[in-house]
Chain A
Amino acid sequence: MIPVWHFLAVGAILFGIGLVGFLTRRNLITVFLCAEMMMQGVVLNLVAFSRYHGNMGGQVFALFIITVAACEAGLALALFLTVYRRNRSLDSEDWQAVREAGLPPAVDVEPLPPAEPEPDYPTLPPAGAKPAEEEPARV
């Protein structure tokens, strides 16, 4: 008999970690990836029970979940593109104007760290320009 509890435990932990990311992260794409990870935890439960009961129903449900997740990903990415065109940012806090009435706005107090200086990449001279000095002929 397979021990179903191990797989259920892994699914629960995946769901919990995904929930942390879903609640705390502010980049919409990361939030969406965390939601997908929660869904993987649920699918793991379905497949484990499918094995435990010797019944294909769980695997069929898992297939439908994958289908719906694919639809969801397509729609969500289209929405993200629209949001990015409008705001030039994917921050979910940009949308706090639509929060519930009577709640105080969230304000970022801590300043962001300064941007790291751009590394000194080598550059090529523009094509067709005359070299500054004559190179000595090499033999």
Chain B
Amino acid sequence: MTSFAVTDLNPVGQIAAAALLGTAGLFVLLPKPRGRSVAAGLFLCLAAAVAAGLFVLSTFGRPSADVVGQVLFWLFAAGAVGFGVVLVAQRNPARGAIAFAFVILSTCGLFLLLAAPFLMAATLIIYAGAIIVTFLFVLMLSRTEGPSDENDRTREPLLGSLAGFAFAGLVLFALYLSSPASASDGAPRPLPAPPVTDADRADLAAAADALEKAAQASDAKDLGRLAREARLRLGAVVGYAPGETPPPGGDGPPRPTVQERLQPARTDARTWTVIDQADKLRDRAKDVSDRLDNNLLGANPNLDAVRQDLNSLREDTVLLYGRGELPARNVSAVGFALYSEHLLAVEMAGTLLLVATIGAVAIAHRRREGVA
């Protein structure tokens, strides 16, 4: 029932509803000697999760373009948040540690969705593999029988829940302010725009597709038609070189080209490279199409040379398509960034680990009488 009421609210109301329901739910769920109700707490927490999910869905849109990505995102997000609530509300700390392991598993799934497979493996091995097991060892060394002060009581459950959920609600509100849903026209966007937009991507993908088909075409007529189509698509994204006549149907690009769009933000070094790359692709498309026309008009066209040209033009198109994305080889890219830009930090992290090991041994060491 709550969800139907929440859909009518504006985003701020949705955030407030989620925060208040979550506060009430966790207050009821937190361990206390009297007045703890697991069913009511779970119901309130579920209602809060539904309200938060509706806020995210209605304000930021769908998390992924394809169904599989959406299902995986909601699965992992719900897993992380749900097992997090279990960790906070669980009386038995050993079960809490297992719930934390599931939180780690869920966030590792989110890392995979964010194209960070190396980080996923590292987090799984270090957290779920090493840290949780160490925690379980300490829990076994220090277990208490029956109800105890530390497991069955909480400090200020209402104020604590209110503080945590007020913080989360404020962060969600700040996210709402920075999202496209709340942006009015002309207001500066707090997050930088991507160098290649979705519409550009669609055209570049279609151009690469047409170029590939053109390079495989056996007929000179088909080849020319497909190459013209690719040129139209490329012209819509990177424009036409000076002195180049747009093919029929290509006059008046439907939107500003990549270079025109990025020109105001030229202060960023990343922007220069994108503009240069787009300019090069534009000039190259002109060269290729000129040579193609000359070749096809000749008495016996040399189709192999044309195919080579088209293939290399396709490679450039795909490179521009991938601008602003992470490199495909994640492990080598992480390694390169670690050992080229952050070498000193790596050394310091190693030193920190060594010092922490020595410190842990020194602290946990049992000192005997008369021995220093």
Q: What per-residue 1/0 map shows which CB atoms of A65-82 lie under 8 Å from chain B? A: 011111111110111111
Please state if B135 and A15 are interface contacts (CB–CB under 8 Å): no
B310 at the interface (CB under 8 A from A): no
Return A78 CB to nearest CB of chain B, in Å: 4
Please state if B360 and A20 are interface contacts (CB–CB under 8 Å): no
Please state if B141 and A67 are interface contacts (CB–CB under 8 Å): no
Please state if A30 and B142 are interface contacts (CB–CB under 8 Å): no
Please state if B122 and A63 are interface contacts (CB–CB under 8 Å): yes
The CA of A111 and the CA of B191, in the complex, are separated in Å by 53
Please state if A40 and B334 are interface contacts (CB–CB under 8 Å): no
B61 at the interface (CB under 8 A from A): yes
Please state if A110 and B33 are interface contacts (CB–CB under 8 Å): yes
Please state if A57 and B337 are interface contacts (CB–CB under 8 Å): yes
The residue among A25, A33, A60, A77 with the most chain B CB atoms within 10 A of its own CB is A25
Return B27 CB to nearest CB of chain A, in Å: 9
Please state if B197 and A56 are interface contacts (CB–CB under 8 Å): no
| Interface pick from B160-168, B204-212, B311-319 | B160-168
Q: Which of B43-100 contact A (CB under 8 A)?
A: 52, 56, 59-64, 73, 77, 80-81, 84-85, 87-88, 90, 93, 96-97, 100
Contact residue among B111, B139, B148, B165 (Cβ-Cβ distance under 8 Å from A29): B139
The CA of A112 and the CA of B325, in the complex, are separated in Å by 56
Contact residue among A73, A92, A112, A113 (Cβ-Cβ distance under 8 Å from B131): A73
The CA of A90 and the CA of B135, in the complex, are separated in Å by 13
Query: If the complex has contacts A23-B156, A24-B156, A74-B357, are A79 and B126 also in contact, measured as CB distance less than 8 A?
Result: no
- Place the interface of chain A in its size category: 35 or more
Contact residue among A21, A44, A62, A115 (Cβ-Cβ distance under 8 Å from B146): A115
Please state if B153 and A9 are interface contacts (CB–CB under 8 Å): no
The residue among A26, A91, A113 with the most chain B CB atoms within 10 A of its own CB is A26
Q: What per-residue 1/0 map shows which CB atoms of B152-182 lie under 8 Å from chain A? A: 1111110111011101110110010011000
Query: If the complex has contacts A13-B81, A56-B337, A110-B34, are A6 and B73 also in contact, measured as CB distance less than 8 A?
Result: yes
Please state if A78 and B179 are interface contacts (CB–CB under 8 Å): no
Return B43 CB to nearest CB of chain A, in Å: 17
Residues of B within 8 A of A36 (CB): 100, 127, 131
Please state if A21 and B88 are interface contacts (CB–CB under 8 Å): yes
Query: If the complex has contacts A9-B60, A67-B353, A73-B134, are A115 and B107 also in contact, measured as CB distance less than 8 A?
Result: no
Return B271 CB to nearest CB of chain A, in Å: 13
A134 at the interface (CB under 8 A from B): no
Residues in A lying within 8 Å of B, measured CB to CB:
1-10, 12-21, 23-30, 32-34, 36-37, 40, 43-44, 47-48, 50-57, 59-60, 62-64, 66-75, 77-82, 84-85, 89-93, 106, 108, 110-116
**Subset of 9 A-B contacts with CB under 8 Å:** A19-B168, A20-B163, A48-B114, A60-B334, A63-B122, A66-B122, A75-B363, A77-B360, A90-B142
Q: A7-B114, A25-B88, A71-B355 are in contact. List 12 more A-B contacts (CB 8 A).
A: A3-B64, A5-B175, A17-B88, A24-B154, A26-B153, A26-B155, A28-B150, A37-B100, A44-B107, A56-B336, A68-B352, A111-B33
